[in-house]
Amino acid sequence: MATYECEKCGMSVNATCGKCDAPLANDTLTLDGGAEVQISKCPNGHGKIKSPMCCGQDMSCSV
């Protein structure tokens, strides 16, 4: 199960694909400006979302 956890307050969320129920894989996306954004993507190609944030920072994936 892919679980994102906030390092500050300990809140956690489970991220799965809405179409195939697969745990989302952790990945990074490089923006045009060169900044890296942490994202979660479906391993079966159904799309990707930005990683959940909490306490002003990206939640880390503890798979």
What residues contact residue 63 under an 8 Å CB cut-off, 6+ apart? Answer: 1, 2, 3, 23, 25, 26
49 is an interface residue for Zn ion by CB under 5 A: no
Q: Which is nearer to Zn ion, 20 or 49 (CB)?
A: 20
Identified binder of Zn ion from the candidate list 12, 44, 60, 62, rule CB under 5 A: 44
50 is an interface residue for Zn ion by CB under 5 A: no
Tokens describing residue 38: 């942490």
**b/e code 6-27 from CB counts within 10 Å (16+ = b):** beeeeeeeebebeeeeebbbbe
Q: Which is nearer to Zn ion, 19 or 34 (CB)?
A: 19
Query: Would you tell me which residues interact with Zn ion (CB under 5 A)?
Result: 6, 8-9, 11, 17, 19-20, 42, 44, 46, 54-55
